[in-house]
């Protein structure tokens, strides 16, 4: 797992390669100031670090599906003696692993 410092270094190189970058304030377009570039790097690195650490939670939430669909799976598992719901949850977890 990359540290925040390592991600910041990656993002700094990424932003350097993307220069020049513009911002629009109301209808005026201008290049980012040095302060803006520094803030952009901080924001982007913080976001990527958070995604690395906690992104799996959101990914799992989206992949689990609706509660009603899960209840339906559980009902039919009970009726038919199958393990559809358990298999589905296990697959979502393995597809979106928690970072070690």
Partner 1 sequence: MAGSLIKINETTVTSNQSSVAITGIDNSYNVYIVKTVGMEGTAHDQPLRFQVTESGTGSGDSDYDYSLKNLGVNGAYDRTGTNDTSFTLEFTDENTAQAQHMSLIYCYNFSSTTEYALVTIEGITVGRTQNAVGVTGGGVYTQTGTARDGLSFFQAGGGNIRAGHITLYALKK
Minimum gap (Å) between residue 47 Cβ and partner 1: 4
Measured CA to CA, the distance from residue 45 to residue 70 in angstroms comes to 36
Minimum gap (Å) between residue 82 Cβ and partner 1: 21
Nearer to partner 1, 44 or 93 (CB): 44
* Residues 1-37 as b or e (16 or more Cβ within 10 Å = b): eeeeeebbeebbeebeeeeeeeeeeeeeeeebeeeeb
Q: How many of the other CB atoms lie within 10 Å of CB of 45?
A: 22
Minimum gap (Å) between residue 23 Cβ and partner 1: 5
Nearer to partner 1, 43 or 87 (CB): 43
Nearer to partner 1, 17 or 81 (CB): 17
Nearer to partner 1, 6 or 69 (CB): 69
* Residues in touch with partner 1 (CB under 8 A): 14, 21-27, 29, 32, 36, 39-40, 42-44, 46-48, 51, 58, 61-62, 64-67, 69
């Amino acid at each position: 797992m990359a540290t925040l410092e390592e991600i910041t270094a990656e993002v700094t190189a990424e932003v350097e390669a993307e220069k020049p970058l513009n911002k629009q304030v109301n209808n005026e377009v201008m290049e980012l100031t040095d302060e803006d570039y520094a803030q952009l790097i901080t924001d982007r690195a913080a976001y990527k670090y958070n995604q690395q650490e906690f992104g799996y939670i959101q990914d799992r939430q989206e992949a689990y599906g609706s509660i009603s669909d899960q209840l339906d799976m559980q009902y039919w598992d009970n009726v038919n003696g199958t393990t559809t719901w358990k298999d589905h949850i296990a697959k979502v977890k393995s597809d979106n692993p928690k970072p070690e």
